Amino acid sequence: MIEETVRQALRRLTAMSFLQNVLPFLAQKKPPPPPPLGSLRIASPGDILRLGVVATAGFFYSEQFMFERPFHKNFPQDTIIFFRHEVENFVKSSEHIVLVCTDKYAPDESSKTEAIIPLDNGWEPPRAGEEVIVGLGVWKLNPGSKRVGDFQNDTAPYPDLPRYEGSDLDEERAKRIEVVAGAADHKYFDGLSTMERIVVHPAYWKRSHGSTIARWGVALASIDGIDQGVLATTMGASLFTHVGYQHISETQVEGDERSPEGFSLAILRYRVA
């Protein structure tokens, strides 16, 4: 009788110790290492001023930019400030991964984009041939990802950015894009990780920077066993197909009197299995 009671107590203790010690460990188990960064690196606050320039120079060529920033040429500094704020939010966010790539600085780079990059934009260029950031990739981790916070790199102080005045923007069109993109995201990418931004400065296009960034993202998706989604304009869609994404559908942003055709966004998905 006493023996049975002792045995039961031991069984209870073993079960309790499993619950207390093993389950929390299983729940917190670290994910496998991410893909090697290679020539890429995690963005830091010190990169934000430059990334505003890179994003303005490159995104100028996306249909979304053309549609929502019709006043860019009159207010170019505003566009740069917008992208600096956007990148700052991504860098601060523990749910996002922000990677950059570099190349040798070409002092005539601004002549290779039709975007306007004022000389006094607040970013100090390096000497010719020195390494400079030329591209950016941003991903949002899937909900519940154990990698949240693993890609923070707050090694430098954040820049003191002026307020974004929005003078380059058609606010009504920007809202329309947000609604269409939000609906597509909800319908097609629920539970997935998403590729949020990819851009390379045009002076450094066609040197495989874009593919290197996009390939890192799909390598992460494969390690995590989680499909990845992206909403892409024309240049992005071509690049993403190139690295293995599949075209799922299209969604249309309606135009208006000044631009009746609007534009379409491709919905693509990288399948891990």
Ligand X SMILES: CC(C)(COP(=O)(O)OP(=O)(O)OC[C@H]1O[C@@H](n2cnc3c(N)ncnc32)[C@H](O)[C@@H]1OP(=O)(O)O)[C@@H](O)C(=O)NCCC(=O)NCCS
264 binds ligand X (CB under 6 A): no
Can you tell me which of 93, 152, 153, 211 binds ligand X, judged by CB under 6 A? 211
177 binds ligand X (CB under 6 A): no
Query: Which structure tokens are listed for 219?
Result: 């390598």
Which residues between 54 and 113 bind ligand X (CB under 6 A)? 58-59, 61-62
Q: Which stretch binds ligand X (CB under 6 A): 10-18, 84-92, 194-202, 218-226?
A: 194-202
Q: How far is the CB of 26 from ligand X (least distance, A)?
A: 38
CA gap 139, 263 in Å, rounded: 23
CA gap 64, 17 in Å, rounded: 56
- DSSP conformation letters of 35-75: PP-TT-EE--GGGHHHHHHHHHHHHTTSHHHHHH-TTTTTS
> Is residue 269 helix, strand or coil?
strand
Where does residue 73 fall: left (phi above 0), alpha (psi -120 to 50 degrees), or beta otherwise?
Answer: alpha
**For ligand X, the closer CB: 61 or 71:** 61
232 binds ligand X (CB under 6 A): yes
247 binds ligand X (CB under 6 A): no
**For ligand X, the closer CB: 16 or 183:** 183
41 binds ligand X (CB under 6 A): no
253 binds ligand X (CB under 6 A): no
